[in-house]
Structure 1
Amino acid sequence: MNWVETLIIIVAALLLLLMIRTPVAIAFTFLNIITAIFIWGGEAGLIHVIQSIEGSLTSFSLVPIPLFIFMGEMMFQSGIAPKMIEAVDKWFGRLPGRLSLMTVAGGTLLSTLTGSSMGSTAILGSTMLPDMRNKGYKDPMTIGPILASGVLAAMIPPSSMGVLLASMGGLSIGDFLIAIIVPGLLMATIAAVYLIIRAIIQPDLAPTYEIKHISLKEKLSHTVIYILPLGLIIFLVIGLIFLGIATPTESAALGTLGSAILAAFHGRLNMETMKKSLVGTIKITGKILFVIAGSRLFSEILSFTGVTRNLISIVQDINLAPIFILLMLIAILLVLGLFMDGLSILMISLPIYMPIAGALGFDPLWFGVLILVCIEIGFISPPFGLGLFVMKSVTKDTSMGRIYAAAFPFVALYLAVIALIILFPDIALWLPSIMSD
């Protein structure tokens, strides 16, 4: 069997398993085991599967994943996140689209705590949506900003998806977490500017309302209590990596400790909070580690059968400029995002994409950032973006059609961010280039 037939059979079998709703980790594991037995022989294939899984999951670089997830779970289960959003609210004046802008600002801060797009979307939906609707805000200025802000959780550290992509793609986790900061902030800025412009052009979408006067003393006190401690956690997680003082694992551990202290400070660190946080962490971490193990074995199978080598050769022989090949790769990711979740896309694309990127001379950090942005666009892309269904669970009285319509402008805005990162690579590479070793 040549490499083309092997690739067609593997991809067809994988798509069939995903179409019958087999969980992505189980689908890949089953396919990997069957393929390993076929190409390496029965016992030898099974031994290779076990050795590959052991090699994948015994890496110290994976430790930040459960720690970052635990941070987010603790913030979610302790109820601190909504209080932080309330503190942000006190600083917003009579800006056009005030509540929509607050959603983006709150979502940006929340991203430094949750690391999960689904969790951030759920928190913002349950916290912001009722108040926005009570004030007469329409779907484009309520559902849209919530979806757009939920995406930021993967683009601003700590990002479990970022750690996963870096680990699977063979990138420095610390460098990659720093590289996604500016693109994440750019996405938030573009979303905020769009909301202001739309609120000015169509004021009926975000009606003005009477704002209660809040004294400077009250603003400062809530900032000190709810926002400044968050700044310390951000420094522990991001600042120490940037300054070269701590590794991502050490920073994740310190950030987790800081989150626990913050929950205790607010009197919300109890056995119930810890139990729910640990259970949530174990469930999510188990799924992610399953994916990592499957991805590495999948890469080895593609390499052994000659698929990776021959695909690279074909790409190098194509008489096209690298930029056009890059656009083709991005287009494939965006199409996959219409139907598949981020983990599935990572498992399918990274084993093939990263070697191709290396052959074309693309900076791996820059290329990794582009992949992550594409995956997060898929999170809010109709018809099957996970963020859309999280939003539907929060607002049961809203049709999927209305949710789709609210998401489209932000999909377009984030596509513009991809274009900017391609045109100006320093958006992704500047911060890593100045960080301390």
Structure 2
Amino acid sequence: MASGLLALLIFGSLLLFLLLGVPVAFAMGGISLIIGFFFWSGEASIVGFVLGSYGRVLEFTLTALPMYILMAGILRYSDLADDLYEAIYRWFGGIKGGLAAGTTLIGALFGAMVGIATVATATLGVTARPSMLKRGYDSRLVSGVILAGGALGILIPPSILMIIYAMEASVSAGRLFFAGLIPGLLAAIIFMGYAIIISYIKPEMGPALPKESRFSWKEKFQSLKGVILPLLVIIMVLASIFTGLATPTEAAAVGVIGSFICAGIKRKLTWSNIKKMVVMSVKLNGMVFWLLIGAVAYARIVSATGVGTWVANLITDFDVNRWVILIGMQVIFFILGMFIDPGAILLMTAPVFMPMVIDLGFDPIWYGVLFILNACMAYLTPPFGISLFVLKGVAPDIKMQELYRSVIPFVILYAIVIIIVMIFPQLVHWLPDRIMG
């Protein structure tokens, strides 16, 4: 069969299965088995897919995934976000929009600890949202900063999605961790600036605490005790990589130990909490590894049939500037992000896009940060952004129409950050070059 028809069959059938509601992992795996059987090498293709998937999930790099997911589960049920919010409330409450800006900062910090956007979003939806609404903050601004700040969890290291990208692109997870730090902080600063500026323009959206309700300097400094434990976890993970004591994979175990210490200090290691931690970890691990299994089979069929090479050559042979192609990739990510989980987008597009990125002469680490920024945006892009439904789940009083409207400014701000990173790639390269050489 001609490569063009085979490409249409492979990609078209995947799109059809997704529209029919088939889970992404089973859609990719099932299509690969069927097409491999009929158009590649019959029963031998099935054996090849099984052995290939089995070999991939046993790779040492992926050991970090269950560790970081367990770390997220421990931190999720340790109530560290409550202490963080109390500190932010005392320091920023006297500024117009200060609590909204502070919530973005908490999202960045908590996301850096757990590496999963949905965990940070759910936690902030339970802790920060009622407090801000009680103090007269605009509901849309509150929802927007929670969703945008929570999504930073996959950009500021450690990040589970970064580990999967590093595996797919055959790049250093450690370099990718440090590469995402400055863009992540830049995004957080832009979100904080927006919250404060819009609150000064429209004071009713983010009123400051009245003077009689503000805290003394002594009370402010006392609240900083709640920031020590979260920072301890982040420093333990990144310092173990920076000093060479652990690889990014081994650093996941360091993070788990730090998380257990924090939970113990907070006296949250009860049987009830331990059960919740384990259940959350097992569920997320199962989802991630089924995605990986299906993606390995899908990548194998795209590669073995020559479809990936055919599509890459078709696009790179166009007489257009390589930046036009790169921008086209960002548009595709944006469209897919409205309907599909970012992890699935990565595993679906990697077999085709990664060879193109290399052929066009772009750095895969820099491209990886661009993808992660797109993934952050995908978590809150209507109509099916995952974080939208997570926040709706913990705050059922919110109307979906209001949620959709609340994220529009932050989707635009994420797009601005992507453009800035594209124009100034040194924002990505400077830190890993200084730290890792």
What is the alpha-carbon distance in structure 2 between the residues aligned to residue 278 and residue 392 of structure 1? 24
What is the alpha-carbon distance in structure 2 between the residues aligned to residue 78 and residue 67 of structure 1? 17
Q: Which residues in structure 2 correspond to 1:412-431 (within 5 Å)?
A: 412-431=412-431
What's the secondary structure of 2:406's corresponding residue? helix
Q: Counterpart amino acid of 1:302?
A: V
2:121 matches 1:121 = yes
Equivalence for 1:184: 184
Q: Counterpart amino acid of 1:199?
A: S
Shift of 1:56: 0.8
Equivalence for 1:247: 247
2:32 matches 1:26 = no
Query: Does 239-248 or 275-284 show the bigger shift?
Result: 239-248
Q: Counterpart amino acid of 2:224?
A: T
Shift of 1:93: 4.7
Deviations 1:1-23 (A, max 9, x none): 11111111111211121112111
What's the secondary structure of 1:63's corresponding residue? helix
Equivalence for 1:383: 383
Q: Which residues in structure 2 correspond to 1:34-433 (within 5 Å)?
A: 34-210=34-210, 212-224=213-225, 226-433=226-433
What's the secondary structure of 2:244's corresponding residue? coil
Residues 94 and 214, structure 2, Cα contact 8 Å, conserved in 1:
no
| TM-score normalised per structure 2 | 0.96
Q: Counterpart amino acid of 1:190?
A: I
Residues 39 and 45, structure 1, Cα contact 8 Å, conserved in 2:
no
Q: Counterpart amino acid of 1:46?
A: I
Cα RMSD of the aligned pairs, angstroms, is 1.6
Residues 93 and 208, structure 2, Cα contact 8 Å, conserved in 1:
no
Residues 295 and 351, structure 1, Cα contact 8 Å, conserved in 2:
no
What is the alpha-carbon distance in structure 2 between the residues aligned to residue 375 and residue 14 of structure 1? 20
Residues 57 and 292, structure 1, Cα contact 8 Å, conserved in 2:
yes
What is the alpha-carbon distance in structure 2 between the residues aligned to residue 213 and residue 421 of structure 1? 38
Number of matched residues? 436
What is the alpha-carbon distance in structure 2 between the residues aligned to residue 283 and residue 219 of structure 1? 39
Q: Counterpart amino acid of 2:181?
A: I
Shift of 1:215: 4.1
Shift of 1:316: 2.7
**Where does structure 1 lack aligned partners over 5 or more consecutive residues?**
none
Residues 104 and 149, structure 1, Cα contact 8 Å, conserved in 2:
yes
Shift of 1:171: 2.0
Q: Counterpart amino acid of 2:29?
A: T
What is the alpha-carbon distance in structure 2 between the residues aligned to residue 357 and residue 60 of structure 1? 26
What's the secondary structure of 1:303's corresponding residue? helix
Shift of 1:34: 1.4
**Where does structure 2 lack aligned partners over 5 or more consecutive residues?**
none
Residues 169 and 351, structure 1, Cα contact 8 Å, conserved in 2:
no
Residues 244 and 436, structure 1, Cα contact 8 Å, conserved in 2:
no
Equivalence for 1:5: 5
Residues 383 and 404, structure 1, Cα contact 8 Å, conserved in 2:
yes
Shift of 1:288: 1.0
What's the secondary structure of 1:320's corresponding residue? coil
Shift of 1:104: 0.8
Pick closer, same or farther for the CA change 1:100–1:223 going to 2, 3 Å: same
Residues 120 and 153, structure 2, Cα contact 8 Å, conserved in 1:
yes
What is the alpha-carbon distance in structure 1 between the residues aligned to residue 210 and residue 324 of structure 2? 52
Query: Does 307-316 or 188-197 show the bigger shift?
Result: 307-316
What's the secondary structure of 2:436's corresponding residue? coil
Q: Counterpart amino acid of 1:380?
A: L
| TM-score normalised per structure 1 | 0.96
Q: Counterpart amino acid of 1:37?
A: F
Q: Counterpart amino acid of 1:117?
A: A
Q: Counterpart amino acid of 1:219?
A: K
Residues 116 and 154, structure 2, Cα contact 8 Å, conserved in 1:
yes
What is the alpha-carbon distance in structure 1 between the residues aligned to residue 36 and residue 242 of structure 2? 41
What is the alpha-carbon distance in structure 2 between the residues aligned to residue 377 and residue 77 of structure 1? 26
What is the alpha-carbon distance in structure 2 between the residues aligned to residue 130 and residue 255 of structure 1? 30
What is the alpha-carbon distance in structure 2 between the residues aligned to residue 334 and residue 97 of structure 1? 29
Residues 81 and 127, structure 2, Cα contact 8 Å, conserved in 1:
no
Residues 243 and 435, structure 1, Cα contact 8 Å, conserved in 2:
no
Deviations 1:392-415 (A, max 9, x none): 223322221111111000000010
Shift of 1:337: 1.1
